[in-house]
Structure 1
Amino acid sequence: MASQTESSLTPTDRSSPSAVSNTNITVLPAPEQCERDLKQEAITIFLSGAIDKGSAIPWQDDVYQRLRSHPCLQQSFLSRPVVLFNPSRSDWDSTWIESPEFQPWHEQVTWELDKLAEADIVAVHLPATSQAPISMMEMSLVLGGGKQRLVVCCADKFWKRGNVEMMAERGHGKLVNNLDAMVTALVGAIQSVSIYKWGKLVSEEKTGK
């Protein structure tokens, strides 16, 4: 939650943070809101992870691109839209006071907490180069709720790797250590959500099975 130095996203392609849509996958940046119809029909994923003032790898863009090109999520297979909740915002100011009394910061944190609670799936990225305290708190909130599918990409040398392993096991989260495995797990989670919400795999909806 919200310091853009840790939890938020900084896309490398600045043309894509708002209303980016390919093969039914859309990126929704803070503080934008989903249209009601899209919100009801979509499978939603909250992206949580360190950016360390822009020095961390742009994993969020990588995940978006890999999901967009994944064969199981191509337009011909994916009838339900997928929305990636992106905590990044183009007007973020690092001088904002981190206090509930400061309206812009309050708006950001409120958006993150709301979208974290709304998401069907939460993806957490914990690299070895960051302590990622905000992402750890977000993961704890998800585990405490027990209602969402959690996918955690945690580096083997992350400073609290042991704690993450035990938390993921306790909360039945999927724990991986690389982005390839994370994307595979997210595709599986998308399919699971589709079955849970609508009783069908996304590919079955297209074929009418």
Structure 2
Amino acid sequence: MAKDKKPGTVSIDQDVEDKDHQLPPHPEPLPPQHPSFIHCMPPKNPAITKNKHSVFLAGSIEMGNAVQWQPHMVKRLHHLPITVCNPRRGHWNTSIIPAKDDMDFKTQVEWELKALDDVTVVCFFFDHNTRSPVTMLELGLLAEKHKVVVCCDKRFWKSGNIHIVCGKYGIPYCETFEGLVGLIMKELKKNDLDVDENGKLLSEPSSAD
């Protein structure tokens, strides 16, 4: 998609009022960005193989109506030598038909599916002011994978379903954004990224295979 807005496009990077304070303030000061950090968005091919560890930001977008949790998470992870795959791209053409024959739609969905398969960790954030049907679909697809962490507040309309699924499949889950950051760090540590409980990088990883 072009960066300039076209007729029929909506900005999904616009500010969304976080009226319920779902996103905490960033720690100050934020650590500097690691030189190997990669922030990847569609349609650019996910650069997952350039780093040994990677995180997919699965969760509420809702055509730009969800809180801007993705850039918030990018800033919380940018001090690490990882690739972050973020499906929330700058603008989306509302005339695109959500059907397999629409090439723009197909490109977006296939980008997401490939990245979901390839990353080390998939984190889910459910904005409790959204419906997020695609996010629930993706969680169902990945529930039996051992690389998922979830943040779902009790105020989300299907939180009971989400929490039961997490319990059944042993998926770590929490109800706050800050808790989600911690769960991501634990999963990265399980996959041999040397970080402490606060997410501080203790040593550089070996090169990706």
1:140 correspondence with 2:151: no
Read off the aligned partner of 1:88 and give its amino acid letter: R
Alignment counterpart, residue 149 of structure 1, candidates 147, 162, 187: 147
Any residues of structure 2 matched to 1:7-156 within 5 Å, and which? 10-11=12-13, 22-23=33-34, 24-35=36-47, 39=49, 41-68=51-78, 74=79, 78=80, 81-90=81-90, 92-144=92-144, 146=145, 148-156=146-154
8 Å CA contact 1:123–1:150 kept in 2: the answer is yes
d(CA) in 2 for partners of 1:104, 1:57: 24
Alignment counterpart, residue 174 of structure 2, candidates 152, 173, 176: 176
Q: CA deviation at 1:142?
A: 0.8
Q: CA deviation at 1:91?
A: 5.1
Secondary structure at the aligned position of 1:96 is classed as coil
Gaps of 5+ in 2: 1-10, 16-31, 196-200
Secondary structure at the aligned position of 2:137 is classed as helix
8 Å CA contact 1:126–1:158 kept in 2: the answer is yes
With over 3 angstroms needed to count, the CA separation of the structure-2 counterparts of 1:52 and 1:41, relative to structure 1, is closer
8 Å CA contact 1:11–1:58 kept in 2: the answer is yes
With over 3 angstroms needed to count, the CA separation of the structure-2 counterparts of 1:169 and 1:97, relative to structure 1, is same
**Percent of aligned positions that are identical:** 24
With over 3 angstroms needed to count, the CA separation of the structure-2 counterparts of 1:11 and 1:22, relative to structure 1, is farther
d(CA) in 2 for partners of 1:12, 1:165: 30
d(CA) in 1 for partners of 2:88, 2:70: 10
Secondary structure at the aligned position of 2:55 is classed as strand
Q: CA deviation at 1:122?
A: 0.7
TM-score normalized with structure 1 length: 0.73
The corresponding residue for 2:202 is 203
TM-score normalized with structure 2 length: 0.73
Q: CA RMSD in A?
A: 2.4
Q: CA deviation at 1:203?
A: 2.7
Q: CA deviation at 1:40?
A: 5.4
Secondary structure at the aligned position of 1:194 is classed as coil
d(CA) in 2 for partners of 1:172, 1:64: 26
8 Å CA contact 1:12–1:61 kept in 2: the answer is no
The corresponding residue for 1:167 is 165
d(CA) in 2 for partners of 1:57, 1:112: 20
Matched length: 173
Q: CA deviation at 1:140?
A: 0.7
d(CA) in 2 for partners of 1:187, 1:12: 28
Q: CA deviation at 1:67?
A: 2.3
Secondary structure at the aligned position of 2:93 is classed as coil
Q: CA deviation at 1:12?
A: 5.5
With over 3 angstroms needed to count, the CA separation of the structure-2 counterparts of 1:11 and 1:193, relative to structure 1, is farther
d(CA) in 1 for partners of 2:189, 2:57: 18
Higher helix share: 1
Gaps of 5+ in 1: 1-8, 14-20, 69-73
